[in-house]
Chain A
Amino acid sequence: MSVSMRRIGLVAGREFMAAVANKGFVIGLLLMPALIALLAVAFPRLMTQRAEAIRGEVAVIDHSGQIAGPLRAALTPEAIAARRFETTRRALENAPAAVRSAAGSSSSAVQRVVGAPPELTILDRPVTADLQAEKQWLTEPPAPGGLRHLALLVVQPNAVVAGDGRTDYGTYELFVPENIDERIETELYDALRESLVSARIRAHNLDRSQVEAVMRVRRATSVTVAAGAERQTNVAFNRMLPFVFAGLLVFSVMIGGQTLLTQTVEEKSNRVIEVLLSAVSPIELMAGKILGQMAVSMLVLALYVGMGLFLLMSFAMFGLIDPLLILYLVIFFVISYLLFAAVFSAVGAAVNEMREAQALMTPVVLALMAPWIFAPVIGREPNSTFSIALSFIPPVNTFAMMIRLASPTPPPTWQVLATMVIGLAAACAVIWFAAKVFKVGLLMHGKAPNMATLMRWARQA
C-alpha cells in the first residue's frame, strides 16, 4: 500500500498537540531555566548570610623586630577590605564588560558577596615569650565578654633581612585553635605577605611602587581572527561552548525519545493501537509519531537556543558564537533524533509496560550518555585520533562532531560531511530495523521481550 502523507501528517499533528497542549509540558519547559535563574539569584544571597564578620585576638611574636607595626596596619578592617577589592578588580579584568558591570565596581558590592572584613585585635608578645605558654593561650576560652583567641603568629628572625648576600628569606609560623574559619588564615597570610614584602623592599632601599610597576605585565585578551571577521576570544566561553552544544543535542534527543517511548507504551497498553491500525498502517503510525515528537523537540530546542542567544545578546557577547554552529546543531539533531527515536518507538511498541522497557533501554541510554563521558576528552583534544574516530562511529558520531565543531579548533569540512553521511546511513538502517520490530511488536502482548525476541521479529516481518 502506498504510504499516505496525509495520514502521517494527521498522526504527527495529534502527537504534537498531545505533547505540547498540556500543563506538564509548559511546566517542564520552564522549570530548568527557572531553576537556573533561581540559583543565580538565591545562591549569592545564601552565601552572604553566612558571611558574618569575625572578631577575635591574634598574638604576634616578632623575631624580626620590623613586622609588628606594618602588620597591625595591614590587618585593620579598612586595609583588608581594600585588599579584597583589589583582588576582585583584577579577577574581573579578564571578564567581559557586561559581567564587570553586573558584578559592580564598588567595594560595597564586593563586600556583599564575600562578607564584612574581620575585626582583629593584635596583641604584641615580647620575643622572650614562652611558645608553649602562648600555644596554651590559644586553647583557653575567652574571658566573659572577651574576644576569641584566633591565632598565634611567630615571625622568623630572617623574615625581612636574609643573611649576607643570600636570598632565602625566613618566613612565619602560624598556630590556630580547632574549628577556625579558614578565611582567617588567608587574611593573615595576605596581610603578612604585604607587610613582609614592603619591609624587604625597604631594607634594600628600593621604591615599592617602582618594583611593582616593573613586575606588572597586563594579560591581553586574544582576538580570534577568522576569514573576514575578528572577534574577541573568550577562553572560558570557548571552553564551555562544546559542552553546551553537546548538552543541547543530548537533551533535545532525550526529550523527544522519552516521550515517544511512553506514548507508544501507553497506546499499546490502553489498546488504542488496533483501533488506529484499522485506519493507518504501522509505518504511517511510526513515521507520524516520530515526526510529531521531532516537532516537539525542535520547539524545545528552538526555545533554549533562543533563550541562550538572547542572554548572549544582552551581555553583548553575541559575536562570540558562529551562527553556522546553530545550523549544524539542527542538522545533527535531526540525524541523531531520527536514529534514537526509531529505537525508542520500536522499544515502546515491543513492550507491554514501562517497567519492561527499562531493560531494553539501558544500552540506548548508555549510548546517549556516552557523549557526556567523552565530551571533556573530545573538547580538550578535538583533533586527536580518538576524537576523529568517534566522530565516525554511530550513534555517538553526531555528538562527537558537534563538540568538535564548537571547539576552538574545528574539524575539516570533509569530516563534517562524512559524519553527516555516516549518521544518515546509520539512521536509515536503524529505522528499517525498528520499523519491522514496531510492526510486529504493536500487537504482541504477554511475555516481556528481550533483544533476541526483537531480532526474531525483525526477521519475521
Chain B
Amino acid sequence: MPAALELRNLRKTFGKTVAVEGMDLVVPQGALYGVIGPNGAGKTTCIRMIMSILFPDSGELSVLGRRSALEAKDRIGYLPEERGVYRKMKVGAFLTYMAQLKGISAEDAASRVPRLLQDIALPGVEGKRCEDLSKGMLQRVQFLSAVIHQPDLLILDEPFSGQDPVSVRLLRDHILKENRRGATVLLSTHVMANAEEMCQHVVMIHQGRKVLDEAMAGLRRQFDPRTILFEPIDPDAKPSMLAAVSGVERVEGNDGSYRITLAAGVDPAPVMARLAAAVAPARIELARRRLEDVFIGIVADGQRDGQSARALRESLAAGAEGAMA
C-alpha cells in the first residue's frame, strides 16, 4: 500500500531564515499522525508545502500518490491555521460553496450540510450569517468545510487552537470519526497533551528539523527510570520518611501525592521495595514519560533540569495557555 504522504529531504528558507531543513516523513494510509513542536518550529511551513501553497526550495514530496497536492485537491481536506469565513455569507451557503469547489454537486452539498451541522452540535445554523456565530462555533463550521467532501487525506493545522474544552472534545471525536471512516489524518498542534491523547504516531519538529518520529504506543511504554509516583494510604504520612530512603534524591509534592526523584544511576526496582516498606503505599509506580518530557529530553540534550529545558517548558506552557484562551 503506497503512503498517503511522503516528504523527502524538504528544505524551505525565507530570506536568510531556514524554516524547514532535511524533512523526511512517511504517513501510511489510514494513519493518524500528530506533528508537534513549539510555536515557530516549522509545522505550518511543512503543512503549507504539503498543500502546495508554498513550494520547497529543494526536496520532493508525494501526496496521495501524486507529485503535488494540486493534482489531488478534491481528495484533500485542509483546515489552515489562518482560517476565516466570508463574514456576510450564510453558513449553509459557505459550506455548499466550499463543497462545490471540491467537486461536489450543489444539490449533493446542500443535502449534506444540515446533517453535518447537526452532527457537530450546530443544528439549524445554516441560515445564519457567519458573522453571527461565536468563534468556537465558526471553528466547527470551518472544520466541516474541510471534511464535507469526505477527503482521503485530512490535514489540520492547529485544529484545537482557541477552543474551549468541550469544543476540543467534540472536535477530537470528529477527527477520530474521519479517521475511522478511512481518512488519513495529519494534524499539527503545539499542545502536546492533545496529540498524546489521540494520535497513533507523533512527529516532533524543533527549529525546522524533525527530532522524533515514533508510534505513540511505543512512547507510552517508555518510563522515566528516575521518577517514582507515590501515594501513601495514610494521608498524614511524613514525606521526610520517603526522603530518608537510600537512593532517593528529592521528594516533591504534598496532599498525599508525591513525586520522588532518584539519584542518577540507581536501579529503581529495589528503591520501590524500600519505599513501600517505609510508608504503606496506596499507589506506587514508575512515572510514564509525557510527550513534553520526551521533547525536552531530546532538544535539551537530556539535561532536563538545565536552564534551556526550563525555558522550553515555560514556552510550551505559555503556548498551551494561549491556545486555551
Contacts and interface: CB of A to CB of B under 8 A. Distances in A.
B12 interface: no
Interface in B63-90: 68, 70-71, 73, 76-80, 82-89
Interface string A1-21: 100000100110010001000
Nearest to A272: B84
A274 interface: yes
Interface in B93-130: 97-98, 100-102
Contacts of A11: 101
A275 B142 contact: yes
Contact of B98 (A267, A270, A271, A275): A275
A258 interface: no
Contact of A271 (B68, B78, B82, B100): B82
Contacts of A127: none
A275 B83 contact: yes
A18 B88 contact: yes
Contact of B78 (A7, A18, A278): A278
A1 B71 contact: yes
Interface in A327-372: none
B53 A10 contact: no
Interface in A230-275: 267, 270-275
Contact of A270 (B78, B80, B84, B101): B84
Contacts of A7: 101
Nearest to A285: B101
Interface residues of B, number: 29
B188 interface: no
B83 A279 contact: no
B5 interface: no
B80 A274 contact: yes
Contacts of A270: 84-87
B84 A278 contact: no
B86 A274 contact: no
Contacts of B77: 278
Interface in B38-76: 48, 51, 53-54, 68, 70-71, 73, 76
B150 interface: no
Nearest to A276: B101
Given A18-B89, A279-B101, A274 B76 contact: no
A1 B52 CA distance: 11
Contacts of B261: none
A275 B84 contact: yes
A277 interface: yes
B145 interface: yes
Contact of B84 (A1, A271, A443): A271
B206 to A, nearest CB: 24
A176 interface: no
A11 B85 CA distance: 14
A275 B82 CA distance: 8
A255 B73 CA distance: 33
B78 A1 contact: no
Nearest to A445: B82
Contacts of A274: 53, 80, 82-83
A1 B51 CA distance: 13
Contacts of B145: 275
A270 B84 CA distance: 5
Given A1-B70, A270-B87, A275-B145, A10 B51 contact: no
Contacts of B102: 279
A272 B85 CA distance: 5
Interface size class of A (residues with CB under 8 A): 20 to 34
Contacts of B83: 271-272, 274-275
B70 A281 contact: yes
Contact of A18 (B76, B86, B101): B86
B97 A10 contact: yes
Given A1-B70, A1-B71, A18-B86, A278 B97 contact: no
A200 to B, nearest CB: 77
B101 A443 contact: no
Interface centre among A275, A278, A281, A443, by most chain B C-beta atoms within 10 angstroms, is: A278
Contact of B53 (A1, A22, A443): A443
Interface in A302-317: none
B82 A278 contact: no
B140 to A, nearest CB: 14
A99 to B, nearest CB: 45
Interface string A106-141: 000000000000000000000000000000000000
Contacts of A267: 84, 86
Contacts of B73: 1, 278-280
Contacts of A279: 73, 98, 101-102
A278 B147 CA distance: 12
Contacts of B78: 275, 278
Contacts of B84: 267, 270-273, 275
Nearest to A282: B53
Interface centre among A7, A11, A22, by most chain B C-beta atoms within 10 angstroms, is: A7
Contacts of B86: 18, 267, 270, 272
A284 to B, nearest CB: 9
A443 B45 CA distance: 12
Contacts of A10: 97, 100-101
Contacts of B51: 277-278
Nearest to B82: A271
26 contacts: A1-B70, A1-B71, A1-B73, A10-B100, A11-B101, A18-B86, A18-B89, A22-B88, A270-B84, A270-B85, A271-B84, A272-B85, A272-B86, A273-B84, A274-B80, A275-B78, A275-B98, A275-B142, A277-B51, A278-B53, A278-B80, A279-B73, A279-B101, A279-B102, A443-B48, A443-B53
Interface of B: 48, 51, 53-54, 68, 70-71, 73, 76-80, 82-89, 97-98, 100-102, 142, 145-146
Given A18-B86, A275-B85, 10 more contacts: A1-B71, A10-B97, A10-B101, A11-B101, A272-B83, A274-B82, A275-B142, A278-B146, A280-B73, A443-B48
Q: List 6 A-B pairs, minimum CB-CB distance, nearest first.
A: A271-B84, A278-B78, A279-B101, A274-B80, A1-B70, A272-B84
